Amino acid sequence: MSVIWHDLECGTYAEDLPLWRSLAAEHGDPVLDIGAGTGRVTLDLASVGYRVTALDRDAELLDALADRASGRNVQILDASSQALVTTVVADAREFDLGEQFPLAIVPMQTIQLLGGPDGRAEFLGCALRHLLPGGALAIAIAEALDLYDVTDGVPSPTPDIRELDGVVYSSRPVAVRADPDGFVLERLRETVAVAGERTVERNLIRLDRLTARGLEREGRAAGFTRVQRGRVRETSDYVGSEVVILHA
C-alpha cells in the first residue's frame, strides 16, 4: 500500500528533474539518490544513461523501483556489480556502501524528515564519507510553507485520485500547520473498493524547520568546504525548493 500512496502524492512531480540531470552532467556518475522512493529521479537519470544507486529505508518502495526499471529495460544488479540502477535499503543517517560518488542528491525535502539537527549531522557525516574529493551533495529544502486548515473554512485543495484494479484511491491535503520546530502536513487518505466499501485514514508528515543558510552552516561543521545554491520553482501543486549544494 505504501507504493500506491507514495506514487499518488509524489510520483508526478517533475519540476526538479532538469536540475538533477544538469548536476549529473556536471559531476558525472555514479549518482547516489538518497530517499529514492519508487524511482522518480533515479529512473529519469538512468533513462539518459547515468548509473544511479537508489537508497531508501522502505524496501517496498525500492522493490517497485526495481520492477519499473526492469520494465524499462534498465539493468538491475546487486551492489557488487556494475549496473545502471542499484537499490540499497538503508537509513540515510547510517549507511555504509563501500563506495564513493562524485554526486549525491537529496530531492523533495527528504533531509527535513531526519529528526532535527542531530539526525542531519549524522546524515551529513555519512554522506561526506561517501563523496569523492571535490564531490557534491545537493539537497532540496522547503524554507517556508503556506499555512492553511480546511476546518477554518479554507477551501480544500483538489485531491490526488487514482484508480487501480477497480479500487479508487484519493489523497486530499487538509492542513499545513506550524509547530515550534517545523511544519505538519495533514492529508486524508480514502479508498473506495469495487463493492463500495470505504476507508478513510489520517496521514501526518512532519518537516523539520530548516533554512538554506542554516544547512550551509551545518554542512561546514560536518566538514564540507564550499557551498553553492540552486532553486526549483514552485508549481500549482508543489512548493518551490531551495537547493543547497555542499562540496567535499
The count of structural domains within the chain is 2
Same domain, 43 and 120: yes
Same domain, 226 and 117: yes
Which pLDDT value is given to residue 95? 96
Which pLDDT value is given to residue 74? 57
- Which pLDDT tens digit goes with each residue over 142-183? 998 989 898 767 677 889 999 989 999 999 999 999 988 999
* 3-state SS track over 105-118: EECCCHHHHCCHHH
Q: pLDDT grade, residue 79 (50/70/90)?
A: very low
What is the Cα–Cα distance from 82 to 62, expressed in whole angstroms? 18
Task: Locate all alpha helices (DSSP H) within the chain, ordered by sequence.
Answer: 2-10, 17-27, 40-47, 59-71, 116-129, 212-222
Q: What is the mean pLDDT of residues 59-84?
A: 73
Same domain, 200 and 243: no
Same domain, 21 and 118: yes
Range name among 67-76, 177-186, 221-230 with the lowest pLDDT average:
67-76
- Which pLDDT tens digit goes with each residue over 55-69? 999 999 999 999 888
Same domain, 234 and 171: no
Same domain, 116 and 233: yes
Q: What is the mean pLDDT of residues 180-195?
A: 92
Question: What pTM did the predictor assign?
Answer: 0.92
Whether the CB-CB separation of 68 and 38 falls below 8 Å is answered with yes
Matching residue, cell 560518488: 101
Which pLDDT value is given to residue 72? 61
Residue 240 pLDDT more than 90? no
Q: What is the mean pLDDT of residues 208-231?
A: 96
Whole domain around residue 218: which residue ranges? Answer: 2-143+210-247
Which pLDDT value is given to residue 42? 96
Amino acid at 90: A
Which pLDDT value is given to residue 38? 95
Which pLDDT value is given to residue 104? 98
Residue 209 pLDDT more than 50? yes
Same domain, 136 and 169: no
Residue 130 neighbours by CB distance under 10 Å? 21
The CATH number assigned to the domain holding 70 equals 3.40.50.150
Same domain, 133 and 121: yes
Q: pLDDT grade, residue 71 (50/70/90)?
A: low
Same domain, 155 and 69: no
